[in-house]
Structure 1
Amino acid sequence: GAVETIAELRRRGLPVVFISNKPLEPASSYAEKLTRLGIPATADDVITSGKVLSAYLARAAPGARVFVIGEPPLLREMHAAGLQLCEEPARIEYVIAAFDRTFDYRKWNVAFQAIKFHGAHFVATNGDRTCPIEGGELPDCAGVIAALEATTGKTVELIAGKPSPMMIEWGVARLGVPAAACLVVGDRRETDMVMGRQAGARTALVLTGVTRRAQLAAAPAPPDYVLESVGDVLRLLEP
């Protein structure tokens, strides 16, 4: 399983980072969850779309006024990065679209007014259509993006999450190695595998998640490896 695989990779001196499109919690919370599951991790080992986007905006527009369509942890992450939370359309400089189970007409209209009539930039944490949960799926950020694009006539300017190269750039910086020396392991062909391939990393698709082997025939850029389980990663390291 994953616990044994990660432990063995680390025993061999191979560093690991965890990349997630979910902006629902800070990296520290995901690290705590991993640790509870038997995979010791720190916040620095976890890269989320919220973390990457907040850091990007803090560099590109320090102190910018932002309106976040997202849940409280993401708002706190933006505030911690020095960005100003704002709900006045005429003053908003960036509208940030994210997964939000409280998305409603009020939020939609504030974002719409800011983008269409006041020139606010339109960015997003991730472009996932759905978020997997136990027993099914929930609508994800792609729905929020689509609602704003359809009504404002504007196209989202930047999406921080996978398959954006921004995510893997953070990963390789944390690992201290070039992308070509990395193996991206994931279960989503359209995000994990595309991100890895675009960055020049090797890719390994695990079939225990959302992608099935039958779907690979239609893949324009197939992964380098297809694995039945994450434990098979160790087999790739055999001479």
Structure 2
Amino acid sequence: MVQLPVYDGYIFDLDGTIYLGDQILPGAVDLLAQLRRDGRKVAFLSNNPTKNRAQYVAKLNQMGIPTSLDEVINTSYVMVEWLKSNAPGATVYPVSEQPLIDELSAAGFPISERAGEIEYVIASFDRTFVYRKLQIAFDAIRAGAQLVATNPDRFCPVPGGGEPDAAAIIAAIEACTNTRCSVNVGKPSPIMARTISTQLGVPPERCLMVGDRLHTDIAMGAAAGMDTLLVLTGDSRRADLATAPYQPTYIAEDLL
């Protein structure tokens, strides 16, 4: 990896940066161990809401990266925190997989499938998406519900390719309701940037954001005032830099 200045906080994307599927990526274990030995603050940030934070902690520990719960933030956590601040007690309908549903329920948010009761439709990465879910979202938004989302990703990188992500769910709901998603809490949203900076207790200008996606990881870090490192182990390629609105501070093939 390129030689970097020393930062107080290091923020790492997960999918495509630390691991790909269940395969740890080159250099990740050694780099994280060195940062911890040096006393640096480390956090992990994911736009993937199909696991809760405890599941991410378990996965990282199993891969040889000792991690605590307060070092992991993902979009389901940020969505719950945003709702607590902006719509406490609101009735929601998540178009999502079970982990987000569980987190919303645990936080006390009523979940309904009745159009007149739903205040927020939450679009998310949902591999269980079926027409019935689209119909409920359609009815709720026509009855006055707002459309919000956990993340804007078009696909989630997996070994050998990718899986359609939340952008596909958002687009389907927007297309049939003739409305637009009003809030997206995932990278590159400043909501996510503020959450992770607060969690670390480090100002953005003393953080390095490390990720594989120009339009989420790098865009969020740059907009928040962080230096950024693009690793070419996941989504983005060098050729993509020509049209990227935000340029990384550093580029590396991997974390070695």
TM-score range, shorter chain: over 0.9
Matched residues in 2 for 1:29 and 1:136: separation?
23
1:38 alignment partner, one of 58, 64, 80: 64
Query: In 2, distance between residues paired with 1:212 and 1:121?
Result: 35
1:77 is matched with 103
Q: Counterpart of 1:122 in 2: which secondary structure? A: strand
| Aligned counterparts of 2:184 and 2:86: Cα–Cα separation in 1 | 14
> What's the secondary structure of 1:109's corresponding residue?
helix
Identity of aligned residues (%): 50
CA distance in 2, matches of 1:60, 1:218: 35
Task: Name the residue aligned to 2:35.
Answer: 9
8 Å Cα contact 2:155/2:165 also seen in 1 = yes
Q: How far apart in 1 are the matches of 2:191 and 2:113?
A: 27
Tell me the matched-pair count. Answer: 230
Alignment partner of 1:230 is 2:240: no
1:150-169 equivalent positions in 2, closer than 5 A: 150-169=175-194
Q: 2:157 aligns with which of 122, 126, 132?
A: 132
Deviation, structure 1 residue 71: 0.6
For structure 2, list consecutive stretches of 5 or more residues without a partner in the other structure.
Answer: 1-26
1:206 is aligned with what amino acid? V
Report 1:84-233 matches (<5 A).
84-116=110-142, 118-231=143-256
Mapped contact 2:232–2:252 kept (Cα < 8 A): yes
Instruction: Confirm or deny: 8 A CA contact 1:32 1:42 kept in the other structure.
Output: no
Tell me the SS of whatever aligns to 2:228: strand
**CA-CA distance at 1:59 after TM superposition:** 2.1
Matches of 1:27 and 1:82 in 2, distance apart?
18
Cα distance in 1 for partners of 2:133, 2:60 equals 33
By percentage of residues, which structure has more helix?
Answer: 1
What is the identity, as a one-letter code, of the residue corresponding to 1:119? G
- Give the stretch that moved more between structures: 180-189 or 129-138: 129-138
Matched position secondary structure for 2:79: helix
Distance (Å, rounded) in 1 between the aligned partners of 2:246 and 2:102: 37
2: CA distance, partners of 1:89 / 1:80: 22
* 1:53-64 to 2 correspondences below 5 Å: 53-64=79-90
SS at match of 2:163: strand
Deviation beyond 4 Å, 4+ runs, structure 1:
none
Root mean square deviation, CA, Å: 1.0
